[in-house]
Amino acid sequence: DTAVSQTPKYLVTQMGNDKSIKCEQNLGHDTMYWYKQDSKKFLKIMFSYNNKELIINETVPNRFSPKSPDKAHLNLHINSLELGDSAVYFCASSRGLLEQYFGPGTRLTVT
């Protein structure tokens, strides 16, 4: 009964490739998020969707494109991967503004 799930859990790829990470929540929440956590544990919001509508778009390279096919899913596609994209990417969801439930993370390594 995983509340927020992400696939894949680990992703190792070469520079220049395009990859996608998928996220699904079964909590019935209206808002979903993508965060990036670097090697120093700093957690930074990238995007937020509310009812499939983009509401937060932080300063993120346009190589990163989120897509929300429905309220329960938020995917992240990354084009032309770079070494600096290596990080753990977390998906989260919330009903209100505060109580965010995080997924287990996708550990992306770009070589």
Partner 1 sequence: QKEVEQDPGPLSVPEGAIVSLNCTYSNSAFQYFMWYRQYSRKGPELLMYTYSSGNKEDGRFTAQVDKSSKYISLFIRDSQPSDSATYLCAMSAGNAGKSTFGDGTTLTVKP
What residues from 38 to 67 belong to the interface with partner 1 (CB under 8 A)? 40-45, 48, 50, 55-56
* Closer Cβ to partner 1, 14 or 103, answer by number: 103
Per CB under 8 A, the segment of 11-19, 60-68, 72-80, 93-101 that binds partner 1 is 93-101
Phi, psi dihedral angles at 77 (to 5 degrees):
-110, 135
108 lies in the binding site for partner 1 (CB under 8 A): no
Spell 10-34 as b/e; 16+ CB within 10 A means b: ebebeeeeebebbbbbeeebebbbb
**Burial of 84 by CB count in 10 Å (0-12 exposed, 13-18 middle, 19+ buried)?**
exposed
* Closer Cβ to partner 1, 14 or 41, answer by number: 41
Shortest spacing between CB 51 and partner 1, in angstroms? 12
Structure tokens at 50: 């509310």
Binding site for partner 1 (CB under 8 A): 4, 31, 33, 40-45, 48, 50, 55-56, 90, 92, 94, 96-105
